[in-house]
Amino acid sequence: MKNTLVPSLTFIAAAMTIGCSSNPPPNAGLVQAHSSYNLARSNADIVNQAPLELKDAGDSLAKAEQAFNADEEPSVVNHLAYLAYQETAIARETSNRKMAEITIRNAEANRNQTRLDGRTAEVDRAQSVIADQQKQLDALNAQKTDRGLVITLGDVLFRTGQAELESGGIRNIEKLADFLKQYPGYNVSIEGHTDSIGNHDRNQRLSERRADAVQSALLHINIGSNRLETRGYGEEYPVASNATAASRQLNRRVEIILSDSNGNIVQR
């Protein structure tokens, strides 16, 4: 990148000969702006991530030096030096923000928080939490609906007509429990559903028992009962036609409805 500012010999001489009565004393604001700009220009991250902002700072610094060399009023020099200093700070902040975004996009598990400027650390942590949360929700196949996020557990959790969890379904429950432990602000509604085959009352009871079985498994993994509620809807809310074996299998399910961040669940 080409240098956007080359300090004039007049300014350098003025700074070096502060004791000479023939030259004006250096302007403190201009000296500070030079120092801040030169530090920023020596930082590769700022040069690469905020070139336009750094150029603006260099342009303003050049104007401030020109005003100083032209013996303009100190207030004019101070104002231009202040602009250069602030634009250098903007370049630094822009670089910090972009570096934090790159870190998040690359999903670095062990990002080094100390190399990020303290003013971007809070944003970085918040974005990291959101990314981790979304990763877990994706693993649970959570879907956005009018009621919020819904996790569907298919009938592979249970034997046909039974409400006891199969060993193969426990892993799905454990993943859900891991999520709930990590994000204690979430409550859940556990809702059982069946297909339309068989007795209506029996299907209703089966849906309730299956919802209760999932709740019991979560309680066993130390999820508080105050965060869990269960409902059985039987065959009342199908998601497919019940006309084929495949569609009926879709209807035999347990849905986990996640609350909002305040713990509220949208009811049917």
Cβ partners under 8 Å of residue 180, min gap 6 = 186, 188, 218, 223, 227
What digits encode the pLDDT tens for the residues 12-60? 444 444 444 456 688 999 999 999 999 999 999 999 999 999 999 999 9
**Residue 112 belongs to a domain:** no
86 with 186, same domain?
no
What digits encode the pLDDT tens for the residues 106-134? 766 564 555 567 667 777 877 888 888 88
Structural domain count, the chain: 2
**Residue 44 belongs to a domain:** yes
Rounded-to-integer distance, Cα 216 and Cα 212, Å = 6
152 with 253, same domain?
yes
CATH of the domain at 236: 3.30.1330.60
Q: What is the mean pLDDT of residues 164-169?
A: 78
Asked if residues 20 and 68 have their Cβ atoms less than 8 Å apart, the reply is no
pLDDT of residue 207 exceeding 90, the answer is yes
**Residue 264 belongs to a domain:** no
154 with 244, same domain?
yes
Rounded-to-integer distance, Cα 170 and Cα 197, Å = 26
> Domain boundary at 105, 125, 151, which?
105
Structural domain including 225 reads 140-258
**Residue 132 belongs to a domain:** no
> Domain boundary at 85, 105, 125, which?
105
Kindly give the residue spans of alpha helices, DSSP state H, lying in 166-244.
167-182, 200-220
What digits encode the pLDDT tens for the residues 76-100? 999 999 999 999 999 999 999 999 8
Rounded-to-integer distance, Cα 7 and Cα 246, Å = 77
161 with 240, same domain?
yes
What pLDDT does 113 receive? 55
**Residue 111 belongs to a domain:** no
What tokens were used for 150? 């819904």
> Domain boundary at 83, 105, 127, which?
105
Describe the crossing of helices 118-139 and 74-105 by its angle, rounded to 10 degrees. 20
- Predicted confidence band of residue 11 (pLDDT cuts 50, 70, 90): very low
